[in-house]
Amino acid sequence: MEHKYTYLVNGLSTTVRSGTLAAPEVQTAIAFSAPPEFYGQPGQWTPEHLFVASVASCFISTFSGMADYSKLEFRSLSLEVEGVIEKDEGGWRFTRVVVRPRLKIAHAQDGERANRLLQKAEKACLVARSLACPVALEQAVETLG
């Protein structure tokens, strides 16, 4: 296995405070704008949403890989990720990210293991590990049936 990977994203802007993002190996480009709070267009993906979305997608990918490896059967994983930005002496920055996974499992005896895997996923998610702000985990596991 490699010890280094590189990911390339290309950005293009032809209007004020908005543009598109594309990656050579990805079929769909993403349109974005600055958030309305910073005079961008409402209803668009923003860099702030994409930042928080990267934590969400990384957590889901990390957890599902760990669950597969550990043979944990789960019905669904939904989550909400909240990013908080605040202005300090250096300007605006993310000061906190909260990950709220909701895991549905089939068997009650898997509850403890499911909780451990959620905690491991939060620690192993490379995006969350790369952030300068704290990441909090507020998890819930529900048994179905």
Question: Domain check: are 76 and 36 in the same one?
Answer: no
Question: Domain check: are 126 and 77 in the same one?
Answer: yes
Question: Domain check: are 39 and 52 in the same one?
Answer: no
Question: Domain check: are 108 and 130 in the same one?
Answer: yes
Question: Domain check: are 51 and 27 in the same one?
Answer: no
DSSP per position, 9-59? -EEEEEETTEEEEE-TT-S--EEEE--GGGT--TTSB-HHHHHHHHHHHHH
Angle at 82 between CA 26 and CA 33, to 5 degrees: 50
pLDDT tens, N- to C-terminus, the chain (145 residues): 789 999 999 999 989 999 999 999 999 999 999 999 999 999 999 999 999 999 999 999 999 999 999 999 999 999 999 999 999 999 999 999 999 999 999 899 999 999 999 999 999 999 999 988 778 898 989 988 7
Contact 138, 100 (CB under 8 A): yes
Rounded to two decimals, the pTM is 0.89
Expressed as residue numbers, the domain containing 34 is 1-45
Domains of the chain: total = 2
Question: Domain check: are 135 and 86 in the same one?
Answer: yes
Question: Domain check: are 70 and 133 in the same one?
Answer: yes
Question: Domain check: are 131 and 101 in the same one?
Answer: yes
Question: Domain check: are 61 and 41 in the same one?
Answer: no
Q: Can you give the CATH number for the domain in which 103 is found?
A: 3.30.300.20
Question: Domain check: are 121 and 68 in the same one?
Answer: yes
Question: Domain check: are 65 and 134 in the same one?
Answer: yes
